Structure 1
Amino acid sequence: MLGSRGSHLLIFAKQFASMTASSLQLVSVLDNLARETPHRSLRRAVQEVAREVTTGADLADALDRYPRIFNGVFVGLVRSGLESGRLAGALRHVVEYLDRVEQVNRRVTSAAVYPAFVLMTFLSVASGMIFFILPKYQAIFRSFNRPLPGPTQFLLNIGVVLRNDAPWMGAVAGLLAVLTVYALGTRSGRLAWDRLKLEMPAFGPVWRLAALARFSRTLAVQVNNNVSVIRALHLAARASGNAHIELLVHGIAQDVELGASVTRAFKDREIFSGIVLQMIAAGEEAGRLDELLISASDYFDALLMQRIDAVTGMVNPALTAVMGASVAGMMIAAFLPVFDLPGAMG
């Protein structure tokens, strides 16, 4: 649920919740939403869901047939709302969940805009220098039988290698991309990659906090909507978006199913810090686990925003300095032949 589709899904959920609260017929609501939804794949899915509901299918089962559009959290909340007779309330929880996810996604996207712009600018400048400007100097100096300055010749050699070996390099890059996609498509490959992401310097804490924020908020919404803790844990595990954390949470669910308290199960798996464990323990003892989990997710969201700002504040200046130094080096390499040109002509 990222990007454009995530925004359209949020709008769809808001409209769905409002129209359901107005006591309109479910099929009529779905038909209207399908006509008003501009996103193609979402519109097609809603049309199919409406058709299946018309033939007597359960709404949650119909939504569950489109996991790329409606994830387990969406479907689970709708199912619990249908079972409890509070579909409108469940859809409001869906809206709150999707809205929070979109807020985090927008923050992460905005943080990535500047580095992406700097990198694209650098690549454009470097390509122009290596493939268009410097070869003209080479032709001039060759006509006078004079060698180019060392830095200029070095950049030209890079261009020659890239130009001559581009097919091989493209083939190798394509093969590596295919192998990477295949590896990440396997359970063991995805598990290894997600575990590695959590251990990365600077970016690891960001991925961890994002996963824990999604997990805790999803778990809170599920528990608040009268989903059993064990089932809610399994659904929230998938919502974390990290295979390593998902595996740990499935283990927590098994421990709870065997009789362990929620607090003890979390403590044994070492997912949360001491502060969050205290919040969960207090919520479990007071019978307000959902409220304390919401507080935990707010805590993770706040830490996530702080961490994103910290990483951005560290990466952006460093990236600017490195790219600036690289561009300055290329400019020097470009101007050295200009200074040597009178000697070459003489």
Structure 2
Amino acid sequence: MPQFAYKAMQHDGVLTEGLLEASNRQEAMRQVEGRGLKPIKLAESAGGAAPKKPGGGAGAAPATGGGSALSFGRKAKITPRMLENFTRLLSSLLAAGVPFSRALVILHRESGEPVAKAKWKEIHDLVIDGMSLSKAMERSPETFPRVYVAMVEAGETGGFLDVVLAQIADFQAREKELKSKVMTALMYPIILLILALGVLVFLMVFFIPRFQLIFAGFNAELPLITQVIVKTSELVRGYGLFLAAAVVVGVIMLKSWFNSPKGRRAWEGMLLKLSIVGPLIAQFAMARFCRMLGTLLQAGVPLISALNVARRSIGNQVLIDAVSDSIDRVKEGKPLGKSLAQNRNLFPGAIVEMISVAEESGKLDVELMRIATVTEGDLDRQLKSAVALAEPVMLFVIAAFIGTIFIGMVIPIFSLQDHIK
């Protein structure tokens, strides 16, 4: 009978490893759970030779059904709401003492969306095959972000996966709320911008040509601003489709460039240099970093491991590189506060002092969470002010465009009387 090597978590959070004999992986998984353990990794040992039986055990599906679900899951997309529900429910099940594999079975069985059902089934099958949860999630980067996988890996290693999953769900809910606030505030300016573009196209294509015929009938010399508007109208009417195609091609090329490492770094570096947007991005990155690091330290993750996970949550590659240098200094034995002090664009002097004092007093995790909460509140107020300022600015720009066209077309009318005489 084949042997299986397992890695599991006891009720007190201590990791344990061992060997057991079973006819297949599903039977081995049931034996591990029967011992009151939460399986994390299960793989057939080198001496095992029995082939996998896809139909054996509760929660396992026939190979054909799993293959079709996998194919369907790849074509569709998991929404942020589905991922948040998955994360929070899995955390609740594990915290309630439900065995790991059974929790995954419950998730894919109880899911109401076919897309989510197929994806959670895929994760379940990979874990049953002996893969860790983080490695299974790493195979679906379009569903599970890198920082998500890194936190899950830290939770598996430290034996507090349920706690980490709950924190991930809170992060997801907080970011979704922030994005919702920004989109709601920008909805009115965006609608105005779309309407303004429609008005400009109408003026260029239909309105200005009528005035152009009137001016041509009097052989009058038009002012410079009117000539520019008329030429622009002719360009739009004559080459509008080519201009639209050029814009589409340009957008595709820019998107491809932004997705490349070089383009992404250049774009994110430029954003950090903007007067209003740059500080907001840096504050948001610092808040995420501090909350993530504080959460991991509270859960008992070693400082270096927690730093490596927390830096991935920053989101801006330029800032990630800067924090990576600070982590290298911490590895050399230097204090965290002094190491982070090198990144003034991300950690202001006051924040560095708070971290240094908390590090000396042994309350680093609590202080990091407090800094994150205060920073997020300040960031929320700044975002509201920035969005409130964006509305009148956009209205002014729209009025300036339309007003310039109106003035440029009205000025020649006052000189028509001289030509009529």
Offset of residue 37 of structure 1 = 4.6
1:13 aligns with 2:99: no
Distance in 1, Cα, partners of 2:414 & 2:342: 69
TM-score, L = length of structure 1: 0.84
**Change in CA separation of 1:25 and 1:340 when aligned onto 2, cut-off 3 Å:** farther
What root-mean-square deviation, in Å, do the aligned CA atoms of Structure 1 and Structure 2 show? 3.2
Report the counterpart of residue 56 of structure 1 in structure 2: 130
Q: Secondary structure at the match of 1:57?
A: coil
Q: Secondary structure at the match of 1:165?
A: helix
Distance in 2, Cα, partners of 1:290 & 1:22: 26
Report the counterpart of residue 38 of structure 2 in structure 1: none
Report the counterpart of residue 123 of structure 1 in structure 2: 197
Cα-to-partner distance string for 1:320-344 (whole Å, 9 max, x where unaligned): 1221233334445667799999999
Q: Which letter does structure 2 place at the counterpart of 1:279? A: M
Report the counterpart of residue 157 of structure 1 in structure 2: 231
Comparing 168-177 with 254-263, which one deviates more in the overlay?
A: 168-177
2:358 to 283, 287, 292: 283
Distance in 2, Cα, partners of 1:43 & 1:290: 37
2:151 to 55, 69, 77: 77
1:229 aligns with 2:229: no
Distance in 2, Cα, partners of 1:175 & 1:125: 24
Distance in 1, Cα, partners of 2:308 & 2:183: 28
1:34 to 108, 111, 117: 108
Cα-to-partner distance string for 1:26-65 (whole Å, 9 max, x where unaligned): 3343344335556676554322101212223222221122
Offset of residue 202 of structure 1 = 1.6
- The residue correspondences of 1:183-262 to structure 2 (distance < 5 A) are 183-262=257-336
Q: Which of 1 and 2 has higher RCO (CA within 8 Å, sep 6+)?
A: 1
Report the counterpart of residue 309 of structure 1 in structure 2: 384
TM-score, L = length of structure 2: 0.71
Distance in 2, Cα, partners of 1:114 & 1:234: 40
**Change in CA separation of 1:198 and 1:42 when aligned onto 2, cut-off 3 Å:** farther
Distance in 2, Cα, partners of 1:238 & 1:41: 27
Report the counterpart of residue 319 of structure 1 in structure 2: 394
Q: Is the 8 A contact 1:219 1:236 kept in 2?
A: yes
Offset of residue 170 of structure 1 = 4.3
Distance in 2, Cα, partners of 1:293 & 1:84: 20
Number of matched pairs: 342
Report the counterpart of residue 46 of structure 2 in structure 1: none
Offset of residue 262 of structure 1 = 0.8
- The residue correspondences of 1:106-121 to structure 2 (distance < 5 A) are 106-121=180-195
Comparing 325-334 with 260-269, which one deviates more in the overlay?
A: 325-334
Q: Secondary structure at the match of 2:282?
A: helix
**Change in CA separation of 1:152 and 1:317 when aligned onto 2, cut-off 3 Å:** same
- Runs of 5+ consecutive residues of structure 1 not aligned to the other structure: none
Offset of residue 299 of structure 1 = 2.4
Q: Which letter does structure 2 place at the counterpart of 1:157? A: K
Offset of residue 200 of structure 1 = 0.6
- Give me the identity figure in percent: 24
Q: Secondary structure at the match of 1:269?
A: coil
Question: Greater helix share, 1 or 2?
Answer: 1
**Change in CA separation of 1:164 and 1:296 when aligned onto 2, cut-off 3 Å:** same
Distance in 2, Cα, partners of 1:321 & 1:194: 28
Comparing 309-318 with 164-173, which one deviates more in the overlay?
A: 164-173
Q: Is the 8 A contact 1:213 1:298 kept in 2?
A: yes
Q: Is the 8 A contact 2:288 2:372 kept in 1?
A: yes
Report the counterpart of residue 263 of structure 1 in structure 2: 337
Distance in 2, Cα, partners of 1:206 & 1:315: 15
Offset of residue 164 of structure 1 = 2.7
**Change in CA separation of 1:214 and 1:126 when aligned onto 2, cut-off 3 Å:** same
Offset of residue 101 of structure 1 = 1.9
Q: Secondary structure at the match of 2:341?
A: helix
